[in-house]
Structure 1
Amino acid sequence: MDGSSDLGKVQRMAVAMERLSAVVAGFLLLVNVGDIVLGIFFRYVMKSSIIWTEEVARYSLVWLVMLGAAGAQAKGDHMSIDFLAPRFPRWLQKVSYIARMGIQAVVLILLIWLGSKNVAGTWTMKTMALGIPKAIPLMAVPIGMSMLLMQLLLQELHRPSDGGNRS
């Protein structure tokens, strides 16, 4: 295979990851809003509350944020403060880019590892209202951060090799 077809595969994988992230996050947003509206309706109209709506809202929001992070990475929507790096000499821009990528990768790997350890120890614990294993909501961190790391790596593989800063 030539390099251009490999780049095409990487780009298609990055786009697929971004779409998966967006679709799942969109679905979870609908679940979250629907759950909150249901809770409000029952509390204020029916004068009776459903105990599990608060947990569903919280857990769907956590999953939404964790899985949506990969889509935000693909679109370049994560917050960054880049007023200083573009003023650096070219060689220092390259060094700062490499340092930034390394720090991001290390932090994501730590979150995946520590999140997985946390999940492993909570399968026997149950949530208060839903009665599901606590590991299910906690899995959002290692799964979401794995998707974010994969998106970051796919973008790096697809990045032009001119060594430039993509701010």
Structure 2
Amino acid sequence: MTDFTQKPGVSVWITRLERLSAWGAVAFLTLTIADILFGIFQRYFTGSSMIWTEEVARFALLWLVMLGACGAFLHGDHMTIDFVIKKLPLALQKLASQLLFVITAGILCLMIYLSYQNAMGMSHMKTMALNIPKTYPLLSIPVGFFLLLIAVVFKHLSYASSHMCEDAEKEVSP
């Protein structure tokens, strides 16, 4: 019998968020590839092209990048410059980690707010080919930043809990 009173750990939520990000990115990658292939087929085999194929590919690529950024961060595929922090004493490493978290979370919150305001401000404008509000493709930016913020919080919690375990082990051992 499964005990439903136990809450899943941070690592479980990190895995779930990484999978959500990856599957979302795969869906938009599939859409992009299918759309481009359809555009090529139309142009070279029928002699005409649909005007909307380029716009769909551009918007799908935007969503792909913003969703994929979360998965890349969680998987450790984003570029980081951490050689200086690793050379610091443990206490300064923890302080730098806290400071980095606060700065990163603050910037992401600001970007979520600003990009959401921008997307909502464009609701009256329509795209050229699809004739949909520009809000739909622009919402990929705050959604992507929001997922990235959740990922940063989960990673920080994971880092903090692993260091608390290390500190507890040091106190117990002679």
Q: Which has the higher contact order (CA 8 A, sep 6+)?
A: 1
User: TM-score normalised to the size of structure 2?
Assistant: 0.84
Aligned residue in 2 for 1:124? 124
Q: Distance in 2 between matches of 1:11 and 1:88?
A: 26
| CA spacing shift, 1:9–1:86, aligned 2, 3 Å | closer
- The CA RMSD over aligned residues, in Å, is 1.7
Amino acid at match of 1:140: S
* Higher Rg: 2
User: How much does 1:121 deviate?
Assistant: 1.0
Tell me if 1:157 matches 2:150: no
Could you list the structure 1 runs, at least 4 aligned residues long, displaced by more than 3 angstroms after superposition. none
Who is 1:42 aligned against?
Answer: 42
Letter in 2 for 1:67: L
Three-state SS of the structure 1 residue aligned to 2:133 is: coil
Distance 1:158 1:50 in 2: 48
Aligned to 2:53: 53
CA shift for structure 1 position 52: 0.6
Residue number in structure 1 paired with 2:136: 136
Structure 1 gaps, min length 5: none
Q: CA deviation at 1:83?
A: 2.4
1:82 paired residue number: 82
Superposed displacement of residue 161, structure 1: 4.3
Q: 1:158 is paired with a residue of what secondary structure?
A: helix
Identify the residue that residue 72 of structure 1 maps to in structure 2.
72
Q: Structure 1 length normalisation: TM-score?
A: 0.87
Deviation at 1:104, TM superposition (A): 1.1
Give 5+ residue unaligned stretches, structure 2: 1-5, 167-174
Structure 2 counterpart SS, 1:84: helix
Question: 2:23 maps to what in 1?
Answer: 23
Deviation for aligned residue 1:47? 1.9
* Partner Cα distance (2:127, 2:75) in 1: 34
Aligned residues: 159
Task: Give the Cα–Cα distance (whole angstroms) in 1 for the partners of residues 63 and 117 of structure 2.
Answer: 18
Question: For the residues of structure 1 that align with 2:54 and 2:22, how far apart are their CA atoms?
Answer: 24
Amino acid at match of 2:121: G
Which deviations, in whole Å up to 9, do the C-alpha atoms of 1:131-156 show, x marking residues without a partner?
Answer: 01100000001111111101111222
Following superposition, the deviation at residue 35 of structure 1 comes to 0.8
What CA distance in whole angstroms lies between the structure 1 residues aligned with 2:29 and 2:151?
Answer: 21
Instruction: Give 1:95 deviation, angstroms.
Output: 2.4
Distance 2:28 2:79 in 1: 22
